[in-house]
A and B are shown apart, each in its own frame.
Chain A
Amino acid sequence: MEEEETYLELYLNQCAAQDGLAPPRSPLFSPVVPYDMYILNASNPETAFNSNPEVKETCGGFSSVDLSFLPDELTQEDKNQPVIGSKHETEENSESQSRLPSPSDIGLGSNSPSLSNPHSQQHPSDTDSVQASPEKPDSNSLPLASITPMTPVTSVSECCGIVPQLQNIVSTVNLACKLDLKKIALHAKNAEYNPKRFAAVIMRIREPRTTALIFSSGKMVCTGARSEEQSRLAARKYARVVQKLGFPARFLDFKIQNMVGSCDVKFPIRLEGLVLTHQQFSSYEPELFPGLIYRMVKPRIVLLIFVSGKVVLTGAKERSEICEAFENIYPILKGFKKA
């Protein structure tokens, strides 16, 4: 690995000399960038590290990871670098990024997509110098799926600053007590209950703007939130409403079931080309649905890609999956940019 690092350094310096651009990736980070990114980037595709085209890790750590250990040379990269790029930038910009989860999220375990954690958890031996020391060793949520040793800083110049925005989150929670739906419907505001149509109470609250389906078994589904903590907050509010009506409601097994995000790559995409080259993953039936349905395997996310350049990502259980999926698809989409 060390060899690769120095090789990377050499390559980058070469590139910088040739192109006059700042090296898109820090010499510290090991090469996780897929082969084609390098090709797109530099004129001479060095292949040393491309033997390791692992899936990139989650998009730049949004949560305020402590990146102070990073050396200063990284700063020179920011010229053309969009925000999401280097970790340190992310840290600085995390406040200004309205879409990033607020620092308070960090406490909420499940949504901290800190890059280093999976790494430190799964590959403790893979030191590679950089790996950010686990600022959040308690990050419990990261699944094995999003593991890759190193950071995606590399992908910066390709991925630019686009961050998928979350549009909808579906979560479930168990209130752990039998409920009398009729009573709830009668006493609660904003509740609908039509037993002939559907066996649950539909309740809505305005802040966060969400809808909940409450079943007599005590299980509840909460939809419409735009972030993980909003979903949790909303679910708690519904639980409190139920509690106030006299039921011994608890708050067990809160789980996010699905997250939907969307973003815009800002260029038109030639879907016919994409469906042909990625046949095994895509379906495109324009007379049925105007978007191309792309089933990404790793992470397991479904993307709806439209000609206009808008991309919708769904099927995620975690924010990091959405980011990762977008990072994976971006270079592919660029390849099919309709001039």
Chain B
Amino acid sequence: MGFKLFCRYSLGDARRPLHETAVLVEDVVHTQLINLLQQAAEVSQLRGARVITPEDLLFLMRKDKKKLRRLLKYMFIRDYKSKIVKGIDEDDLLEDKLSGSNNANKRQKIAQDFLNSIDQTGELLAMFEDDEIDEVKQERMERAERQTRIMDSAQYAEFCESRQLSFSKKASKFRDWLDCSSMEIKPNVVAMEILAYLAYETVAQLVDLALLVRQDMVTKAGDPFSHAISATFIQYHNSAESTAACGVEAHGNAIQPCHIREAIRRYSHKIGPLSPFTNAYRRNGTAFLAC
């Protein structure tokens, strides 16, 4: 999918991302999504359902609260946006009335009902009230803001266009790419929306991590411990300088495939005594970036 080049630009890579990197990213996202789909299909089968529903995907994501919360927020925003857009265009309003069922906030209801049913400790439901700032999202916003500040209006227009690209725009192409037709159990509409979102998130995560890796590789002269300090530490504690550096670099150099590979390697390699047991889907060998 050629538009991924554009996609990555909007997520923080340079204006002309490398082709090799794009191919690699596409590969990674594809593999991850197919695996995710298979796992979701398994879960569906356990329930005895005929379609993959959003509930199955939410179930797979239950372990990572931050990502789950981001997904929930996304679903709510989607609901909200349909509500507003409906109010604006009278044709939409009629369409909605004609379709009969109460569509307002349907995704929110799905999510709420489901989490209600699986929540034992109450922590999942607590997420609905949780107003904590999503750090990753915050960082992405800041990065975008930095990038756009220095652009002129033509560049900015291009940037905006690239940001609007998503996997959900060409739903049929996306379905084919994931080879849904060969599957026994297929995802329903809302589940497809979530998958498109997860695909986008995966690309975003990859870019985030790759940027960190690349920043790591920049040796800071005069800092004796730079080789020993992890990327996250540098990111959080040197935010003033690093943000400036990040901005400049992102604009100048493109992310290389090696950055991506290193990012994935680090992500899969969780350090800790219980690491082999923590991630449920590691039995497949892949750690999912999006969930």
Contacts and interface: CB of A to CB of B under 8 A. Distances in A.
B166 A315 contact: no
Contacts of A258: 87
Nearest to A223: B90
Interface string B56-83: 0000000000000000001001101100
Interface stretch (A62-70, A122-130, A283-291): A283-291
Contacts, number: 91
A242 to B, nearest CB: 19
A302 B87 CA distance: 11
Nearest to A285: B77
A276 B152 contact: no
Contacts of A339: 152-153
Given A287-B163, A287-B200, A168 B90 contact: yes
A287 B90 contact: no
B164 A293 contact: no
Given A198-B97, A272-B148, A338-B153, A293 B165 contact: no
B156 interface: yes
A107 interface: no
Interface string B70-112: 0000100110110011011110011001101000000000000
Nearest to B74: A285
B94 A202 contact: yes
Interface string A300-319: 00101001000010110000
Nearest to A313: B88
B100 A223 contact: no
Interface residues of A, number: 37
Contacts of B149: 270, 273
B100 A293 contact: no
Query: How big is the B interface, by class?
Result: 35 or more
Contact of B141 (A268, A275, A290): A275
Interface string A268-282: 101111011001000
A79 interface: no
Interface of B: 10, 74, 77-78, 80-81, 84-85, 87-90, 93-94, 97-98, 100, 141-142, 144-145, 147-149, 151-153, 156-157, 160, 163-166, 168, 200
25 contacts: A167-B88, A170-B87, A170-B90, A197-B100, A202-B94, A213-B97, A273-B149, A275-B141, A276-B145, A279-B141, A283-B77, A283-B80, A285-B74, A285-B77, A286-B10, A286-B163, A287-B166, A293-B80, A293-B84, A304-B88, A307-B156, A314-B84, A315-B87, A339-B152, A339-B153
Given A167-B88, A286-B164, 13 more contacts: A213-B97, A270-B156, A272-B147, A276-B145, A283-B77, A285-B74, A287-B164, A287-B168, A290-B164, A293-B80, A314-B87, A315-B87, A338-B148
